Structure 1
Amino acid sequence: MMGGPVDREGPVAWEEAAVSTEASPHRHPLSGDLRTVLADPRRLAEEYELLRNVVEGTDAAVSILDTQLRYRYVNPQMARMTGLTVDAHLGRPLTAVLPGVQRPDEVLRKVLADGAPRQLVVSGRTWADSPYGRRVWRATYHRLQDRNGRVIGLVGIGLEISGPRQYVDELERAHQRLTLLDTAATRIGTTADLRTTCTELAEFVVPELADAAGVELRLDEADVRRRAPRGVLRLRRMALALRPDLIPLAQAAAESGQLIDYQPGAAIRQCLETGRPWLRNRITPPEWRAIAAQPELADGYIAAGYHSALVVPLIAEGQVLGSLSLARAGGSAPFSRDDSVVAKELAARAAHGLARAMRFGRDHAMALELQRSLLATPFRDHEDLETAARYLPADDRSLVGGDWYDTLSLSGGRTLLVIGDVMGHGVQAAVAMSHYRSTIRALAQAGLKPHQVLRHADRMVAESGFDRVATCLLALADPHDATITYASAGHLPPLTLAADRRARLIPVPVGPPLGTGLGGYASSTASCPTGGVLLLYTDGLIEHRDEDIDTSLRRLTRLRVDTSGPLQRLIDRTLEFLAPEGTDDIALLAARVECPDADGISSADVEP
């Protein structure tokens, strides 16, 4: 307001100071050359006080070091940052004052040598309390020289960047965790095989998350007879992965497939009983012996130099399937809580794949047992007939199917040979196979011709509402007439292997698969292969991906085997020559019929 008091600390004061400075430039501190300042003690004191206020009032940590990198001065902010008094710094190097902070002194010596300023990022811990587990500073160092140009030391100015750096580190760790988990989704559970899934899990976390990893699962129904004594938890180690340099030290400690008994107090047992992760760092040898399942395992862990362990449960659909155990050794960092979170999430995702593999395994075992129990064991019921058979399930454990073979002794010394393949895989296909087998057996016992057996079987299955079609080939061997009568429901042609080792496909009229209700089957009769073997088979024996079926059949005719030896050996040689891919089941039925020498198609019966 007009006429009011003047605020000497306000803008007017600064304007007056500016005018005063312009009028009398030598009166303001920090102006003029050095000689002028040194010649005026009053100005020198003013300038020193001003500079001192700037250095000691800043939020930056300022320190002056001599040429031996010992502290000669630290400002109050530097003292607050370190948690020590100013006097505790003076005359001492950083390593003595703050042993928890690592500083590259060789870089500072280069500043002393060439005078070029350098910026450093220094990290560690000081004596002061801090919310950050790891403190980080960014500092710039300049060389100091006296009036004569002699190097007298360094000045360092630093600011703490722990907060921003921690934020960036957390973002990076979060990104790494997401990347790790996303990658796991494509590398774990690639098959329906339980052991493969466990191996993929163990090998994925080494070395991404640990130096060693094991997957332990509870025993399934097949291991009932191996249950542990009361009070002991028995698990099966399904997979073990180790850092290469640890293999000689720790491999024998717990091999894959080994049954391990866990006493009360064992780390893995604590994890499974609580359903929560178990974490321990800086484990001593006595502690290892207390938390390991067995003393010999503890010895292996100690020999490998394991210092940290993390165990997380494998839980799917509310059921604890087992555990994922991790360990770190040597110079690897201890496990953190973030590691525990990542391992827990990884285990949760992997557990669903393991549960799926377990279900597939149970279905496979059930179907395989059913299938094998229903397959007829070839026998030599008539002196003129010798048979042998083989069933091979697909390599993929989810692909147990409905392939079957059968031999049926009929009146008059005749034998019906049957080979078939139900559409699809799994337990339902095996059940359908049993249905077809029983139907064909009943019809054949009624004295029907092969094409009539197929016609009635097709109609009966279609009318029953059964939705699984099947291909089938019947071969009725009559050694007394020296003939074999064939009928096919969409099946591949039979093969004769002659005594001269030549292979020939037998042309057989082919009707539609069973279960369609279309009918239209025919029988054809041929003479017995003299001194040879008749081979019936399912498509898994010859089919290859991206190959025409005619090409596969031509490859079959190039088969050359000795027909005079045991039929099981002949089947072995056949499988070796064709080298099936293992993507589908295989059924083989070989028959040697002792008949008079004859050849060619003798007659044919066609369904009305």
Structure 2
Amino acid sequence: MTSVPGSAQPVLCVPLATGNDRYGTLVCTRRTPPFTRLDTDVCILLAERAASHIRHAREHEQVSGLIAKLQSALRVEPGRPHPNLDVAMRYRPAGQSALVGGDWCETVRLHFGRTLLVVGDVMGHGLEAAVDMTAYRSALRYTASADLPPHRVLRQLDDIAASEPDRRPATCLIARIDPAREQVTLASAGHLPPAVVDTRGRTSLLAVPVGPPLGTGLGGYQSHTHRLDPSQTLVLFTDGLVERRGEDIDQSLHRLTELTFATAATPEQVLDTLLTGLGTDHPEDDVAVLAARGRARTHGTEPTQR
């Protein structure tokens, strides 16, 4: 703390410092009278508080930068589907600063022109949920390489997650699309059912047998096959797309089915309408949504079975 003698008015200079770190100087002036001892003590206290806040702000900035880098590293791009399938995806994490959370989409190429489409939702938000999300995605890619039916993929994912006590539970919906046969085979681990948009732009939900979430070790998953022609768009989504605080889930799903879409809308246009119509600009929960439509067959041959 210093004063400036001989100046036209009293000046008090107090360093903004905490520990060995110095951030500047607090300069106080007044017309008259000179600074008293009480004035000096108050200025010193203000300088200490200001230095402490500056230190905390800089530490927060450093930590936030590290978290952003880690979140960027956890953002795994989904695989590429077969050319016979048009796919669009969107992801919106909850919170203004989050880049990634526990919701995810994935596509895996299978044999004979089939593609596995997956959406998952890890319990919780933020970085911890994102770490478990990457673990589930890695396990899915490994398991899906064996080309198992959707319900058996879920069973293996459940076994893997249940063997790790710290792994958070997750819901998951798997759809195996076969455009050549115009079929989709679905299996669910505690997840909401998918929607289908038809050629008239009307929306309906597909029935799926629902098993327990992944990580419980209970198993009990089943697959069910539906017809899906090239004029229909299949939509897989996490609950953040439809759920609203204080609203029953049946009401939330009904609001989804009340949406109408432009005739022959592309998967990208379907997602645009979904996100706008359901008001997801500032979601209360993470949102992951995937839309897929098979391309019309150009010949009448069917894939050779193994």
Report the TM-score when normalising by structure 1.
0.43
Partner of 2:69: 366
Q: Output the CA distance in 2 between the equivalents of 1:279 and 1:498.
A: 79
State the one-letter code of the partner of 2:77: L
Corresponding residue of 2:215: 515
On the 8 A contact 2:184/2:225 being kept in 1, the answer is: yes
- Residue 486 of structure 1 is matched in structure 2 by 186
Matches of 1:312 and 1:389 in 2, distance apart?
Answer: 54
Amino acid at match of 2:68: A
Q: How many residues align?
A: 292
Describe the SS at the equivalent of 2:106: strand
Q: CA deviation at 1:425?
A: 3.0
Corresponding residue of 1:340: 43
Distance in 1, Cα, partners of 2:3 & 2:256: 60
Distance 1:344 1:453, change over 3 A: same
Q: Residue 397 of structure 1: CA displacement?
A: 2.6
Q: Does 1:464 align with 2:164?
A: yes
Q: Any residues of structure 2 matched to 1:206-217 within 5 Å, and which?
A: none
1:358 match: secondary structure: helix
Aligned partner of 1:381 in structure 2 is 82
- From 250, 254, 257, the equivalent of 1:554 is 254
Q: Percent identical across equivalent pairs?
A: 41
Compared CA separation, residues 357 and 417, structure 1 to 2 (3 A): same
- 8 Å CA contact 1:396–1:582 kept in 2: the answer is no
1:495 pairs with one of 172, 188, 195: 195
Matched position secondary structure for 1:424:
coil
1:593 pairs with one of 284, 290, 294:
294
CA distance, structure 1, for counterparts of residue 132 and residue 287 of structure 2:
17
2: CA distance, partners of 1:282 / 1:568? 73
Bigger RCO (CA 8 Å, 6+ sep): 2
Q: CA separation in 1, counterparts of 2:5 and 2:196?
A: 70
Question: Match for 1:376: what amino acid?
Answer: P
Q: Letter of the aligned partner of 1:473 in structure 2?
A: L
Alignment of 1:190-229 (within 5 A): none
Which residue of 93, 97, 111 corresponds with 1:397?
97
Cα offset, 1:381, TM superposition = 2.5
CA distance in 1, matches of 2:14, 2:195: 58
- 2:185 partner letter: T
Q: Distance in 1 between matches of 2:4 and 2:290?
A: 60
Instruction: For residue 459 of structure 1, report the CA deviation from its aligned partner.
Output: 0.9
* Structure 2 CA distance for aligned equivalents of residues 362 and 450 of structure 1: 39
What is the match of residue 118 of structure 2? 418
Question: Aligned letter for 1:467?
Answer: R
Give SS of 2:192's match.
Answer: coil
Give the direction of change, closer, same or farther, for the CA distance of 1:569–1:512 in structure 2 (3 Å limit): same
Alignment of 1:454 onto 2:154: yes
Once residues 205 and 7 of structure 2 are traced to their aligned partners in structure 1, the CA distance between those partners, rounded to angstroms, is 71
Asked if the contact 1:405–1:418 (Cα under 8 Å) also holds between the matched residues in 2, the reply is yes
> What is the rounded CA distance, in whole Å, between the counterparts of 2:66 and 2:46 in structure 1?
30
| 1:578 corresponding residue in structure 2 | 278
What corresponds to 1:541 in structure 2?
241
Q: Tell me, in whole angstroms, the C-alpha distance in 2 between the residues paired with 1:474 and 1:309.
A: 69
Judged with a 3 Å threshold, the aligned counterparts in structure 2 of structure 1 residues 530 and 354 are, in CA distance, closer, same or farther, namely: same
Rounded to whole Å, the distance in 2 between the matches of 1:538 and 1:319 is 49
Question: Cα deviation per residue 1:141-188 (whole Å; 9 max; x = unaligned)?
Answer: xxxxxxxxxxxxxxxxxxxxxxxxxxxxxxxxxxxxxxxxxxxxxxxx
Q: In structure 1, how many angstroms separate the alpha carbons of the residues matched to 2:87 and 2:206?
A: 19
TM-score by length of 2: 0.80
Q: Is the 2:242–2:253 Cα contact (8 Å) retained in structure 1?
A: yes
Instruction: Provide Cα deviations, 1:187-234, integer angstroms capped at 9, x if missing partner.
Output: xxxxxxxxxxxxxxxxxxxxxxxxxxxxxxxxxxxxxxxxxxxxxxxx
**Cα gap change, 1:420/1:453 in structure 2, threshold over 3 Å: closer, same or farther?**
same
Counterpart Cα distance in 2 of 1:375 and 1:340: 54
Q: Match for 1:439 among 136, 139, 145? A: 139
Distance in 2 (alpha carbons) for counterparts of 1:403 and 1:363: 21
Structure 2 CA distance for partners of 1:552 and 1:411, relative to 1, 3 Å: same
Superposed, which structure 2 residues align to 1:174-323 within 5 Å? 313=16, 320=21
2:68–2:99 Cα contact (<8 Å) kept: no
Gap regions ≥5 residues in structure 2: 298-306
CA distance in 2 between partners of 1:279 and 1:398 (Å): 47
What do the CA deviations read for 1:9-46 (whole angstroms, capped 9, x no partner)?
xxxxxxxxxxxxxxxxxxxxxxxxxxxxxxxxxxxxxx
The 2-side partners of 1:324 and 1:471 are apart by 55
What is the one-letter code of the residue matched to 1:536? L
**Alpha carbon RMSD of aligned pairs, Å?**
3.6
Q: Is the 8 A contact 1:538 1:587 kept in 2?
A: yes
* Contact preservation (8 Å) 1:483, 1:525: yes
Paired residue secondary structure (2:135): helix
Q: Spell out, residue by residue over 1:457-482, the C-alpha distance to the aligned partner (whole angstroms, 9 max, x if none).
A: 10122123342111111000001111
Larger radius of gyration: 1
The whole-number CA distance in structure 2 between the counterparts of 1:397 and 1:491 is 27
Change (3 A) 1:404 1:342: same
Given that residues 511 and 522 in structure 1 are in contact (C-alpha distance below 8 angstroms), is that contact kept between their aligned partners in structure 2?
Answer: yes
Task: For residues 30-74 of structure 1, give each alpha carbon's deviation from its aligned partner in whole angstroms, at most 9, with x where no partner exists.
Answer: xxxxxxxxxxxxxxxxxxxxxxxxxxxxxxxxxxxxxxxxxxxxx
